[in-house]
């Protein structure tokens, strides 16, 4: 029997996949202003440039959706560790491609390769940790992966800032991810990580390895009560395979099974809501957002982005302590309330910043940038056209709006992504409140719930489907954020996310049951009951329904 310290070590080593997930999603945020100047500077037209920036960011996210679907299949058929090995290989190859990329096409290929690795890791790591954990610590240990993700994002901003002092700035930012991938490869190949209980059995229900299973029962720990039925379920599932009545189902087959359909809809909905609340607009575009709020240079915006990333990581630690104590349901509801309030406040902060935008005199000496509306001579209109706003040193000197390739005259402060504003601190404060609210609940709960609500027979496929929905929603948000800020302004974009989060709050209130403290088998019994009691944490009133394994077999047979 593995000790708690051994389980924590296993969770930590496996969560390196989460660290890579976080680093590779956030490092592009600081790299974007620099690679834009390096690789994309020849592109003409602000609309085309913005589209290419969105493609650089969202290509990895879209690939992660495909990787998540692939990862569920691989982890079920070849084992969790085989899936992690593939993810590490993709992280390494993608990191090399990005760091050495001579063109936009090669950079995008590297982002797609890394994205596939991110997707595989995102679905494999939470399931691996959940299967290796005691039930009273399961959500906390699964949240180690979420902490690794937010820790990776924090590390990305620190590395991004340090790399601003190096030649080839963005290449270093994107290439550093090769190091943690190598560490996890070593941990797997050096037997520091062992296959989870569901992957320990071969197709005949026998152990794959000659040495004693590390998950064997032997000390009366309550974890044994959970893993003995888990191994039994695995042998039962494999036995059906040998009889030609495999209980393995695809997503459509799950939707034909009422209990599985309820579980899947809940899991997919939670993952979609997590991303639709706008979190990765902050993680992918933090320097851009802070630039819109009034930070003058890319370096100062990258430096300021470290603070939100730190709050995100600290909030995740708080969430890890609360998720088993307060329960998944209460934590998710409370977190969503905070997210809605913070997004409304963030939108108000940007509206104040936009309303205070300084103006310039529209004449040939002070304006070389063509504006779509000549009468709108404000800094905001200048920046939206991709031009440079020049704030004079003296109060009586005129401001100017110049084409992007022209520098401001000496003594003038040059703004390229945002406008000077007295509300910059207000925006940063609202951003921190948003991250604090999000990271304590909306961040960890969807992953924890998806790692525990599905029966063994479909856990990989269902987890892969949920992660795929997460990444598809993520890609949609990433691909549209800059366009939304162009159409609605930053304030309108964040108010839209607040409306989505509010709708999600109502949905969660009516659909999410409490699973805290229940064994994996008891959770199946909860969903198998004729009705899921809202907020119920016991099975006293639910009874036991038809065996899910039998129900799955019936659907397959039909």
> Does the pLDDT of residue 122 top 50, yes or no?
yes
Higher pLDDT, 300 or 132: 300
Alpha carbons 485 and 501: distance in angstroms, whole number: 18
pLDDT of residue 243: 41
Mean pLDDT (whole number) for 360-381? 66
Q: Looking at the domain assignment, is residue 387 inside a domain? A: no
Alpha carbons 206 and 129: distance in angstroms, whole number: 22
Q: What is the 3-state secondary structure (H, E, C) of 427-475?
A: HHHHHHHHHHHHHHHHCHHHHHHHHHCCCHHHHHHHHHHHHHHHHHHHH
pLDDT of residue 338: 97
Bridge partners for 91 per DSSP: none
pLDDT of residue 23: 87
pLDDT of residue 197: 53
Give the long-range contacts of residues 310-314, CB within 8 A, separation 24 or more. Answer: 310/154, 311/432, 311/435, 311/436, 311/439, 312/150, 312/153, 312/154, 312/283, 312/435, 312/438, 312/439, 312/443, 313/147, 313/150, 313/151, 313/153, 313/154, 313/439, 314/436, 314/439
Contact by Cβ (8 Å): 73, 461: yes
Residue whose token pair is 């720990």: 221
Most confident range (mean pLDDT) of 323-332, 355-364, 524-533 is: 323-332
Sort residue 79 into left (φ over 0), alpha (ψ -120 to 50) or beta.
left
- What DSSP element (H or E) covers 389? strand 388-391
Contact by Cβ (8 Å): 319, 440: yes
CA torsion angle 298 303 308 311 (round to 10) = 170
Mean pLDDT (whole number) for 37-57? 69
Write out the residue range of the structural domain in which residue 488 sits: 4-352+424-511
pLDDT of residue 207: 47
Contact by Cβ (8 Å): 447, 142: yes
Quick one: pLDDT band at residue 341, thresholds 50, 70, 90? very high
Q: Is 384 exposed, middle or buried (0-12, 13-18, 19+ CB in 10 A)?
A: middle
> Does the pLDDT of residue 179 top 70, yes or no?
yes
Quick one: pLDDT band at residue 37, thresholds 50, 70, 90? confident
What's the number of domains the chain is made of?
1
Q: Looking at the domain assignment, is residue 456 inside a domain? A: yes
Residue 378: partners with Cβ closer than 8 Å, 6 or more residues away? 357, 358, 359, 360, 419
> Does the pLDDT of residue 346 top 70, yes or no?
yes
> Does the pLDDT of residue 194 top 80, yes or no?
no
Residue 469 maps to which CATH number?
1.20.1250.20
Quick one: pLDDT band at residue 392, thresholds 50, 70, 90? confident
pLDDT of residue 497: 96
pTM of the complete model: 0.72
Structure tokens, 545:
């329904």
Structure tokens, 450:
């998806």
Q: Looking at the domain assignment, is residue 142 inside a domain? A: yes
Quick one: pLDDT band at residue 81, thresholds 50, 70, 90? confident
197-211, 272-286, 307-321, 490-504, range with the lowest pLDDT: 197-211
Alpha carbons 93 and 106: distance in angstroms, whole number: 12
Q: Looking at the domain assignment, is residue 372 inside a domain? A: no
- pLDDT tens across 138-153, in order? 666 666 777 788 888 8
Q: Looking at the domain assignment, is residue 314 inside a domain? A: yes
- pLDDT tens across 240-274, in order? 444 433 445 677 777 777 788 888 899 999 999 99
Residue 156: partners with Cβ closer than 8 Å, 6 or more residues away? 22, 23, 24, 25, 26, 27, 29, 30, 173, 309
Q: Looking at the domain assignment, is residue 359 inside a domain? A: no
154-163, 179-188, 321-330, 518-527, range with the lowest pLDDT: 518-527
Most confident range (mean pLDDT) of 133-137, 156-160, 449-453 is: 156-160
Q: Looking at the domain assignment, is residue 445 inside a domain? A: yes
> Does the pLDDT of residue 228 top 50, yes or no?
no
- pLDDT tens across 421-450, in order? 788 888 889 999 999 999 999 988 998 888
pLDDT of residue 394: 66
Quick one: pLDDT band at residue 296, thresholds 50, 70, 90? low
Q: Looking at the domain assignment, is residue 364 inside a domain? A: no
Mean pLDDT (whole number) for 173-197? 76
pLDDT of residue 335: 96
For residue 343, give the nearest of 288, 276, 295 by alpha carbon. Answer: 276
166 HSE (CA, 13 A, CB side): 12
Neighbours of 400 (CB within 10 A): 25
> Does the pLDDT of residue 468 top 90, yes or no?
no
């Amino acid at each position: 029997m593995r000790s708690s310290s051994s389980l924590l070590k296993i969770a930590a080593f496996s969560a390196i996949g989460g660290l890579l997930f976080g680093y590779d999603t956030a490092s592009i945020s600081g790299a974007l202003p620099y690679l834009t100047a390096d690789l994309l500077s020849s592109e003409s037209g602000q609309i085309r440039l913005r589209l290419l920036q969105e493609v650089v960011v969202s290509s990895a996210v879209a690939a992660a959706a495909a990787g998540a679907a692939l990862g569920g299949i691989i982890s079920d058929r070849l084992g969790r560790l085989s899936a992690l090995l593939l993810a590490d290989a993709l992280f390494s190859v993608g990191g090399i491609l990005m760091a050495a990329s001579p063109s936009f096409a090669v950079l995008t290929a590297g982002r797609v390769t890394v994205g596939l690795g991110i997707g595989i890791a995102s679905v494999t790591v939470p399931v691996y940790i959940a299967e290796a954990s005691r039930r009273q610590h399961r959500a906390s240990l699964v949240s180690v992966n979420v902490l690794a993700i937010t820790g990776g994002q924090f590390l990305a901003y620190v590395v991004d800032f340090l790399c601003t002092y190096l030649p080839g700035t963005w290449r270093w930012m994107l290439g550093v991810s090769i190091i943690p991938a190598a560490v996890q490869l070593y941990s797997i190949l050096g037997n520091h990580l062992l296959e989870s209980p569901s992957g320990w059995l071969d197709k005949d229900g026998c152990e794959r390895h000659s040495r004693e299973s590390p998950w064997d029962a032997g000390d009366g720990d309550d974890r044994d009560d959970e893993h003995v039925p888990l191994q039994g379920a695995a042998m039962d599932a494999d036995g059906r395979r040998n009889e030609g009545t495999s209980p393995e189902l695809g997503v459509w087959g799950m939707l034909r099974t009422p209990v599985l359909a309820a579980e899947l809809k809940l899991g997919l909905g939670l993952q979609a809501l997590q991303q639709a609340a706008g979190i990765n607009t902050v993680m992918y575009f933090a320097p851009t957002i802070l630039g819109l709020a009034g930070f003058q240079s890319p370096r100062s915006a990258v430096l300021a982005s470290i603070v939100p990333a730190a709050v995100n990581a600290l909030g995740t630690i708080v969430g890890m302590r609360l998720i088993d104590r307060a329960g998944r349901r209460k934590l998710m509801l409370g977190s969503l309330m905070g997210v809605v309030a913070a997004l409304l406040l963030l939108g108000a902060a940007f509206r104040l910043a936009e309303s205070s935008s300084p103006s310039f005199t529209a004449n040939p000496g002070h304006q070389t940038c063509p504006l779509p509306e000549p009468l709108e001579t404000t800094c905001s209109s200048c920046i939206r056209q991709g031009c440079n706003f020049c704030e004079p040193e003296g109060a009586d000197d005129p401001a100017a709006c110049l084409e992007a390739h022209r520098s401001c005259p000496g003594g003038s402060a040059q703004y390229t992504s945002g406008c000077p504003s007295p509300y910059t601190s207000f925006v940063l404060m609202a951003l921190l409140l948003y991250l604090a609210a999000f990271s304590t609940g909306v961040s960890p709960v969807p992953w924890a719930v998806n790692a525990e609500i599905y029966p063994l027979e479909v856990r990989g496929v269902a987890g892969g489907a949920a992660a795929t929905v997460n990444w598809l929603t993520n890609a949609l948000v990433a691909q549209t954020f800059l366009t939304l800020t162009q159409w609605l302004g930053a304030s309108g974009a964040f108010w839209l996310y607040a409306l989505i989060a509010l709708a999600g709050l109502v949905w969660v209130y009516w659909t999410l049951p409490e699973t805290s403290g229940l064994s994996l088998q008891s959770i199946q019994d909860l969903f198998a009951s004729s009705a899921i009691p809202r907020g119920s944490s016991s099975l006293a009133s639910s009874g036991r329904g038809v065996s899910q394994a039998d129900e799955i077999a019936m659907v397959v047979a039909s």
